[in-house]
Structure 1
Amino acid sequence: MRVVEFGVLGAVAAWDGSGEPIALRGPRHRAVLARLLVARRKVVPVPRLVEDLWAGDPPADAVGAVRTFVAGLRRALEPERPRRTPSRLLVTEGPGYALRTEPAHVDAWRFEHTVAAAAGLSPAQAAPRLTEALELWRGPAYADFAEEPWARAERSRLAGLRLAAVERHAEARLALGAAADVAADLDAHVAEHPWREDGWQLLAVALYRSGRQADALSVLRRARELLREHLGVEPGPRLSRTEQDILRHAGHLDPGPTGAAAQVWAEASASYESMVPLRARTRLESTAVLMRDLAVTGGGGLEAARRHRAAAVAAAEQLGDPQLTARVIGVYDVPAVWTRSDDPDQAARLVGAAERTLRLLPPGAHEAARTRLLATVAVESRGILPEGTRALQAAHQAVAGARRLEDANLLVFALNGLFMQSFERAGLSARRDGIGAEIAEVAARHGLFTYEVLGRLIRMQAHSATADFAAADGHAAAADALAERHELPLVAVFTTWYRALRTAATEPPHRGEAAYREAARSLTGAGMPGLEHGLLPLALLCLRLHHGLPVTADPHTDWGPYEPFVRPLLLLAEGQERDAVRLLAGVPEPPGDLLYEALWSLLARAAIQVGDRALMRRARSALEPARGELAGAASGLLTAGPVADHLDTLAAAFTVHAS
């Protein structure tokens, strides 16, 4: 389904998946869209739409006009939707309409989620998350509907959240030592919003930490006068306490970041900022190195790292220096364990840049740079079949090059690429276990802890596939211990899901469902949409399939990339066999990734139910090499039960249809 992004933090707008604006026709069309966005996925009855659009004085054909506006919006938002097929975005439900967009596709909802996720983070982690959230604002919320009563409460709520986020952002930056910059920003903030006591208090602290004690006290006096003038109230205890703390030079107001490490960082980064020229090529390489480290700090760090890495690569290419570009691309050797890209378009651009740079490097030179570029091609080209593709070739070349160079860092990166390309058929968990074992051994010997974690997670996946949960438990525990020691919070996402898989495979279904739902909580704020999108409903469906339970699903479930492989079973559960047959006739080959066997198991069950012998044969051929494994368990996340059970069911179905 086409991705549509909606913006309400400013004028109401919509963009397609490439970032191009979508024309929303006239003001009434925009008003309908805005009103549905205010409702936050809930149904707005047509009479309510009429009342809100015409403010109690509707024309005689108002209901028909609303339907016309909705039809126009549907054409704009889903131009490729076949005629007479129901919209899956702007839906008709009961007495009205609802916009069933995902929370991640509305800037205001993303803003709220990001701010909430930053609440429990350290200042170093929270500051970039809050920066990201505040950058979403293009102007006042629902700016083109400022006078509409139906938008007033939501506009006010979002404005309040933004002001609180500005102050929390300032607080985080203060903790990181940016007092002078924070003081300048907060001065403008309190001038525009003089009733914000938190803003005044933070401004006073920022001025004090900048060595401006007199200015800090003056600000507090000005705050007291303005609060009395505007609101007729005395300042709260926090402002009074801050004034007393400044007068007695309280220790907790000591300027600058706290702790030796924070002080070193602040001084070093300030020196770098002043000494390295703004457009120096060194900055691009430094950015790439920093993004490599940022990517393993958590969800916000991972998202920011991807974004800034892509920008750094593009900037390096523009400079026309292939050796610089090779270094900027290749230094980002962040371990990758999940085989579906978080941002396929960006990954394709990175692969393209790596391939162009490979062609531009002088022949016979820069072997290490070439090897890193080949490893990048292999890592970023995920989920590709069949054997013999460029990505698999690049993986083998990278491993061979790293072995020739006897470079441990390069070897584990290249082996990561080989792991990503080890899915040309089912049943290859033993091969991947070998790759994981070598990565873990080399990494442990050379102190490469992020790759030691990767090797452990790969082995955890491989042993899950063969239901060797004792061995998988050991690797999960080792990965958790390394993650705790080296502050790698994202590792827990994979080990938590593994334990849910183990529960689903060994305990009653209700326990498995509870474990999966609990594991899904770990994905909140993890910054891994390629993993998160559609995973929980797929896990629950596979659980039901494994235990022989009826297939059920909420009609509004977002299956993400798994939709083509799930939809036939759902249609059959609803008695829509003809539609299921039609979909199965054109179903794509499951991608070569960690869920290959699971998706084939779903297709096999659907093919059996409709008697599609050709698809049954394809499923049997695809699954047979994995007969001794649990379907999907190679992911370390979910399982649809033993592959042998699915193969036996296929064999029985062939016998029935033959007779």
Structure 2
Amino acid sequence: MEAVTFGVLGPVTAERAGQALALKGPRHRAVLARLVLARRRMVPVDRLVADLWEVPPARAVGAVRTFVGDLRRALEPDRPRRAPARLLVTEGPGYALRAAPDAVDAWRFEAAVAAAGRLPAGQAPDRLAAALGQWRGPAYAEFAEAPWARGERLRLTELRLRAVERRAELLLESGRAAEAVPDLDAHLDGHPWREEAWRLLALALYRTGRQADALAVLRRARALLADELGIDPGPRLRRLEAGVLAQDPVLDPPAEPAEAAARLWTRATEAYDRAVAAGSAARLETTVGLLRTLAVTGGGGLEVARQQRPAAVAAAEETGDAELTARVIGAYDVPANWTRSDDPEAARRIVAAAERTLAALPDTPAADPARARLLATVALESRGVRSPRGPEAARRAEEIARRLADPALLAFALNGTYMQSCATAGGSPRRAAIGAELVELAARHGLATYEILGHLIRLQARSAAADFTGADRHAAAADALAARHERPLVAVFTTWYRALRRAATGAPYDRAEAGYRAAAARLEDAGMPGLERGLLPLALLGLRLSRGLPPEVDRRADWGPYRPWAEPFALLAEGGRDAARAALHRLPEPPPDLLYEALCCAEAALARALGDRPALRRAQDRLLPASGELAGAGSGVLTFGPVDDWLAAAVSP
């Protein structure tokens, strides 16, 4: 029998061989949609009851079981009466839909968008067009008002809008501007607030010889933004308007197709294969250089670099040449802006290899540059780990780099110092000094990626001080450098910063929440699980607590490493005060990373709600060094509000 496929990009459907299956009533479809949304994970029966009814009837659990039974008969009509279900299965206290990865249109759409990102620019637009063709209407259309569908609907909608705009951008890059115009027109009819879409439409019109129409589009965008939102167009729209008026040659299509670069790459790599022996040390060092370049591209490139780097280090160690191994380890001086590792196990292996190599290096001045790079690597890869070795390695690497007066080595060492600067709250002034030195050093010596890092660190420090005017300048500088040097990951951090800025400056709650959700969408396929996992629910928890709203903790959300701080809130909401208090007492000191203060605030909120004076005092003592700052804003991504509010919090008698 052919497999069942499911549709949620529009009304919820189930089909076999193109024939729709009868799903009975709306609550049957709601159960199916809720299980699809869970992505093969189990959904407890009590969660289904809570999602299906605002006020559950007396026999709600039995009704859910009836709905599941009806769905099973529709999905597997030939299953023997007492045989276990294979698709909609019972698991523990609930149910799971074991659909294949390609059986749900939303999952196929996401996979196709990700695959398009790995294709050459000339092929990607057609792949995106095919992916977008799967949409039949709004995601989970008949459940637009259901709270359980809201986050997924917003996420899928944002992914679709970005896919439309990315396809238009690729068409422009490929010299197919005329093809982009109709889709952008339709796109803006439904979503007139998308500044990037206005920019792309105006540029597409200009490149098809329609300068007057391009100007008219830009003026429409300006009027709409001013009249409806009370804001001016962003810098990209303003620059485009000036360029169109001046007929700036920069706006013209690329002079030669992108395939020229591909041909050059092919010729160079073929020549390298012929000239450099397969087992040579030069190949190993070249491989690390390529991985370093891949890492700063983000997405699949960063993931490949992270996966292959330990193999390159292991291959170098197998040669028995400590100096070669030191060069291979130290050559991966990729600037790091987040203090939690994307792959802790790989980081531990890299640190262990660096320590072995340090022990094997000769104790001579000639080995000092390699020694400093190894120490900086230990400091970087020990991020988020509470151990004296990381700070010590950072200090020694910086000392050697300053003595050698090597700018690139000093920038690498300062990155390690920055990574080890989060042991306690209130570290933003120190990080501000590191960022300032990096900006000055990197600008003077042409170290573009470290100049970007310096601006992002300064952005974090200014955010902690609630100086958003200063932070805006650093965000703009980082974005400009990223555009010039093709560093797409920078936009992830500046987008999160702007969501933080909106939340911290009193934007209405729904707009602040939407800002965080849009920022979280930028993390999809960015290749940074250490940043992505748990960040959105933690940011939304901080938003609610900073506004004096009761916490809402969804246990189904991916809280990642922050789940120990979320679980007590859920227990308390369910009436389990003793269990919540026990969970509070089990909390460790937050790890030494950029979210240290945020987790201290979460602990303070729990202690206050539970009337636990010792726990509240402990959290306040940890927060005290950050007095006068915005709690957690030194991360550049979220805030729990003014630290002083948490220091003044008291347990009611």
Instruction: Please give the range of the TM-score, normalised by the shorter of the 2 chains.
Output: 0.5 to 0.7
- Aligned residue type for 1:292: R
In the other structure, the counterpart of 1:58 is: 81
In the other structure, the counterpart of 2:614 is: 614
In the other structure, the counterpart of 1:186 is: none
1:300 touches 1:527 (CA, 8 Å); kept in 2?
yes
**Change in 2 beyond 3 A, CA 1:439/1:393:** same
Counterparts in 2 of 1:286-297, with a 5 A limit? 286-297=286-297
Using the alignment, how far apart are the partners of 1:92 and 1:583 within structure 2?
A: 23
In the other structure, the counterpart of 2:441 is: 442
Structure 2: any 5+ residue segments left out of the alignment?
A: 4-34, 44-66, 128-169, 175-255
In the other structure, the counterpart of 1:119 is: 116
Using the alignment, how far apart are the partners of 1:590 and 1:270 within structure 2?
A: 51
Deviation (angstroms), 1:49: 5.8
1:116-142 per-residue CA deviation (whole Å, 9 max, x = no partner) reads 223256628999xx9xxxxxxxxxxxx
SS in 1 for 2:336: coil
Counterparts in 2 of 1:339-488, with a 5 A limit? 339-364=339-364, 365-385=366-386, 389-488=388-487
- Aligned residue type for 1:379: L
Deviation (angstroms), 1:338: 0.3
Query: Does residue 301 in structure 1 map to residue 298 in structure 2?
Result: no
Counterparts in 2 of 1:223-238, with a 5 A limit? none
2:553 touches 2:566 (CA, 8 Å); kept in 1?
no
Q: TM-score, normalised by structure 2?
A: 0.66
Deviation (angstroms), 1:424: 1.8
Using the alignment, how far apart are the partners of 1:521 and 1:348 within structure 2?
A: 29
Using the alignment, how far apart are the partners of 1:617 and 1:500 within structure 2?
A: 30
**Change in 2 beyond 3 A, CA 1:535/1:622:** same
Using the alignment, how far apart are the partners of 1:100 and 1:558 within structure 2?
A: 20
**Change in 2 beyond 3 A, CA 1:50/1:356:** farther
Using the alignment, how far apart are the partners of 2:382 and 2:603 within structure 1?
A: 25
Counterparts in 2 of 1:144-163, with a 5 A limit? none
- Aligned residue type for 1:627: S
Deviation (angstroms), 1:281: 1.8
Counterparts in 2 of 1:558-597, with a 5 A limit? 558-597=558-597
**Change in 2 beyond 3 A, CA 1:357/1:434:** same
SS in 2 for 1:123: coil
Structure 1: any 5+ residue segments left out of the alignment?
A: 1-7, 9-35, 72-89, 131-171, 177-255
Using the alignment, how far apart are the partners of 1:100 and 1:434 within structure 2?
A: 52
1:461 touches 1:636 (CA, 8 Å); kept in 2?
yes
Using the alignment, how far apart are the partners of 1:111 and 1:535 within structure 2?
A: 25
Query: Does residue 627 in structure 1 map to residue 627 in structure 2?
Result: yes
Using the alignment, how far apart are the partners of 2:72 and 2:543 within structure 1?
A: 42
**Change in 2 beyond 3 A, CA 1:640/1:70:** same
Using the alignment, how far apart are the partners of 2:37 and 2:280 within structure 1?
A: 46
1:448-477 per-residue CA deviation (whole Å, 9 max, x = no partner) reads 000000000000001101101011000000
1:327 touches 1:369 (CA, 8 Å); kept in 2?
yes
- Aligned residue type for 1:116: V
Using the alignment, how far apart are the partners of 1:576 and 1:125 within structure 2?
A: 57
Identity value in percent: 56
Using the alignment, how far apart are the partners of 1:466 and 1:427 within structure 2?
A: 10
Counterparts in 2 of 1:183-262, with a 5 A limit? 260-262=260-262
- Aligned residue type for 2:451: E
SS in 2 for 1:45: helix
**Change in 2 beyond 3 A, CA 1:356/1:556:** same
2:89 touches 2:97 (CA, 8 Å); kept in 1?
no
Deviation (angstroms), 1:58: 3.4
Using the alignment, how far apart are the partners of 2:513 and 2:590 within structure 1?
A: 25
- Aligned residue type for 1:639: T
SS in 1 for 2:500: helix
Deviates more, 1:369-378 or 1:48-57: 48-57
**Change in 2 beyond 3 A, CA 1:300/1:471:** same
SS in 1 for 2:557: coil
Deviation (angstroms), 1:486: 0.6
1:103-122 per-residue CA deviation (whole Å, 9 max, x = no partner) reads 99x99999874542232566
1:279-310 per-residue CA deviation (whole Å, 9 max, x = no partner) reads 22211110001111111112111111111212
SS in 2 for 1:366: helix
2:571 touches 2:577 (CA, 8 Å); kept in 1?
yes
Deviation (angstroms), 1:591: 0.5
1:45 touches 1:97 (CA, 8 Å); kept in 2?
no
- Aligned residue type for 1:354: A
**Change in 2 beyond 3 A, CA 1:339/1:91:** farther
**Change in 2 beyond 3 A, CA 1:412/1:126:** farther
Using the alignment, how far apart are the partners of 1:110 and 1:400 within structure 2?
A: 51
Using the alignment, how far apart are the partners of 1:444 and 1:114 within structure 2?
A: 39
Using the alignment, how far apart are the partners of 1:324 and 1:91 within structure 2?
A: 53
1:609-658 per-residue CA deviation (whole Å, 9 max, x = no partner) reads 22223222211110011111111101100001001001101xx32xx44x
1:497-539 per-residue CA deviation (whole Å, 9 max, x = no partner) reads 0000000011222221111111111111111011111111111
Using the alignment, how far apart are the partners of 1:351 and 1:521 within structure 2?
A: 32
In the other structure, the counterpart of 1:328 is: 328
Using the alignment, how far apart are the partners of 2:437 and 2:377 within structure 1?
A: 19
1:372 touches 1:398 (CA, 8 Å); kept in 2?
yes
SS in 1 for 2:93: strand
In the other structure, the counterpart of 1:643 is: 643
Using the alignment, how far apart are the partners of 2:593 and 2:122 within structure 1?
A: 32
RMSD of Structure 2 on Structure 1 (CA): 3.3
Using the alignment, how far apart are the partners of 1:362 and 1:126 within structure 2?
A: 52
In the other structure, the counterpart of 1:159 is: none
Using the alignment, how far apart are the partners of 1:615 and 1:491 within structure 2?
A: 38
Using the alignment, how far apart are the partners of 1:335 and 1:546 within structure 2?
A: 32
Deviation (angstroms), 1:54: 9.8
1:461 touches 1:633 (CA, 8 Å); kept in 2?
yes
- Aligned residue type for 1:384: V
Deviation (angstroms), 1:57: 2.5
Using the alignment, how far apart are the partners of 1:97 and 1:599 within structure 2?
A: 32
Counterparts in 2 of 1:480-629, with a 5 A limit? 480-507=479-506, 508-629=508-629
- Aligned residue type for 1:371: A
1:289 touches 1:331 (CA, 8 Å); kept in 2?
yes
Q: TM-score, normalised by structure 1?
A: 0.65
In the other structure, the counterpart of 1:45 is: 68
Using the alignment, how far apart are the partners of 1:326 and 1:567 within structure 2?
A: 43
2:118 touches 2:300 (CA, 8 Å); kept in 1?
no
2:555 touches 2:567 (CA, 8 Å); kept in 1?
no
Matched residue count: 466
